[in-house]
Amino acid sequence: IWGWSDPGGVVKVDFAGKQYETVADSTGKWLLRIQPMQAGGPFELKVKDGKGCETKTFTNVMLGEVWLASGQSNMNYSLGSVLNSGSVLKEADYPNIREFRTPNEVSRFPIQDLNGGEWITCSPQTAGGFSAVAYFFARALHLDRKVPVGIIHTSWSGTICEAWISAEMLSTIPAFKDRVIRDI
């Protein structure tokens, strides 16, 4: 579990009946590792910033597997557009499958946090917007392993693959070495 607080601020976390504590570094970033637990939920997660006494509570938190679904048009193809989508969506009642769709945002440099996005619980009403590939993968995994499955969906139709590769990595490929622009 990670976040931001005042530099040097004490952060307390209550999760699944256990309490954890950490201190934010000089930039205000903090990271806390919880003890391994069995997959399941839902749980409540409370994060308290000791200095400002602000508490954030997250409900319906699940523990399970989290997978990244990324790519271009094929990964972005929605479940609501597949053949037989009516019957597929009618059966898409899997509250232990969640999808987080990251906002499409351009940046020449890594950003610290997202500007939007939320976890969506899979239901016949919401599944139509899920990535079809990610949904079928998550459903198979969930049914096979009997654990909650989270999909972080980061695909963006029409983007070139070079946009997904760091300048450092592109510069190691001879065809791109002289074409990479770097701001240092």
Give the tens place of pLDDT for each residue, 125-170.
999 999 999 999 999 999 999 999 999 999 888 887 777 777 888 8
Residue 156 has a CB neighbour count (10 Å cut-off) of 19
Query: What is the model's pLDDT at position 181?
Result: 67
Tens of pLDDT along 20-51? Answer: 999 999 999 999 999 899 999 999 999 998 66
- Judged by average pLDDT, the poorest of 72-81, 84-93, 128-137 is 72-81
- Region of 2 (left: φ > 0; alpha: ψ -120 to 50; beta: rest) is beta
Nearest to 149 by CA among 86, 69, 79, 89: 69
Q: How far apart are CA 62 and CA 60, in angstroms?
A: 6
Q: For residue 3, give every residue at least 6 positions away whose Cβ sits within 8 Å of its Cβ, in sequence order, or none.
A: 11, 29, 30, 47
- Region of 133 (left: φ > 0; alpha: ψ -120 to 50; beta: rest) is alpha
**pLDDT higher at 150 or 4:** 150
